[in-house]
Amino acid sequence: MFEIGNMAPASGEPQRVLGAHWRARLDLTTLIAISALTLSALGFYRSYLYTKQQLEVTVTEVSYVTNQGELYMTIAFSNGGNRDAALLRVEPALWGRRKDKAAAEWIPLADKVHPDIPVSVPRMPAVVRAGGVEIVKLSASLNATDAERATVASQGAAFVGIRVATMNSDGNLYLLQESVARLDIDRQGKIHRAEAAIHRSLSGFDNLDGAPPGDSLQSNQKTPFVWADEQS
């Protein structure tokens, strides 16, 4: 009887161990299934229900070959949202007055530096994919005399800027106009240097009609490289 009494617990021990093992496996399987469903629901929410519209516009370079009358710019468009963004128009501009208007405004520069070189590369319109970056290069003819005639007297400089028209995935339209560089004019009325008029990224999904002289921030990592040769 002593042996029988000792054998009964021994025969039940493997069953308890086996049962605990299967319960652990079932708990792990259930946890994995719940996690998979949660991730699937989260992915569905982010893809079809949650919308984030975000487009940053950063001017990285402005170069003016004064004596040849050639203006070049490079602009980076960064889409931090989860929906595509459309660039409808991206063009350089000069702050000045049209002949038929009294108020100054941003006048688009549409003359090419060469017949085979478009004003914008890539050509507009273009799409910035969700989570992507698009680099746009601009080039336009700007006669130095025309730039000097557009001098803002109170600033002692002429100003070049950008005009950017965008559309988000909801079909909303935006127009962004802002100074990017100032062309300093000397006492003889000639261009002798250039410096940045912008030191920050801009929202591509805001309406902005910025007039010279631009922002008043200090140079930082958002400040574009700006260069112009002195008019000879």
**Are the C-beta atoms of residues 215 and 184 closer than 8 Å to each other?**
no
Give CA torsion, residues 205, 206, 208, 213, to 10 deg.
Answer: -80
Q: What is the chain's mean pLDDT, rounded?
A: 88
The CATH number of the domain holding residue 195 is: 2.60.40
Q: What is the structure's pLDDT at 3?
A: 47
Does residue 22 share a domain with residue 69? no
Does residue 152 share a domain with residue 203? yes
Does residue 68 share a domain with residue 30? no
The answer to whether residue 34 scores a pLDDT higher than 90 is no
pTM: 0.79
Express each pLDDT in 86-99 by its tens digit: 999 999 999 999 88
Does residue 116 share a domain with residue 6? no
Nearest partner of 213 among 65, 122, 104, 61, judged by Cα = 104
Q: What is the structure's pLDDT at 37?
A: 74
pLDDT band at 15 (very low <50, low <70, confident <90, very high): low
What is the domain range of residue 1?
1-50
Does residue 191 share a domain with residue 93? yes
Burial environment of residue 229 by CB neighbours within 10 A (0 to 12, 13 to 18, 19 or more): middle
**CB atoms inside a 10 Å sphere around CB 93:** 25
**Are the C-beta atoms of residues 195 and 213 closer than 8 Å to each other?**
no
Does residue 164 share a domain with residue 85? yes
Express each pLDDT in 43-99 by its tens digit: 665 555 578 999 999 999 999 999 999 999 999 999 999 999 999 999 999 999 988
Burial environment of residue 158 by CB neighbours within 10 A (0 to 12, 13 to 18, 19 or more): buried
* Cα 3 from chain centroid (whole Å): 82
Does residue 188 share a domain with residue 74? yes
Q: Residue 26 is which amino acid?
A: L
Pairwise pLDDT comparison (36 vs 231), residue with the higher score: 231
The count of domains in the chain is 2
Does residue 113 share a domain with residue 202? yes
Pairwise pLDDT comparison (34 vs 7), residue with the higher score: 34
Pairwise pLDDT comparison (6 vs 227), residue with the higher score: 227
pLDDT band at 24 (very low <50, low <70, confident <90, very high): low
Does residue 43 share a domain with residue 59? no
Does residue 87 share a domain with residue 7? no
Does residue 124 share a domain with residue 45? no
Q: Residue 209 is which amino acid?
A: D
Does residue 95 share a domain with residue 184? yes
Nearest partner of 60 among 229, 224, 226, judged by Cα = 224
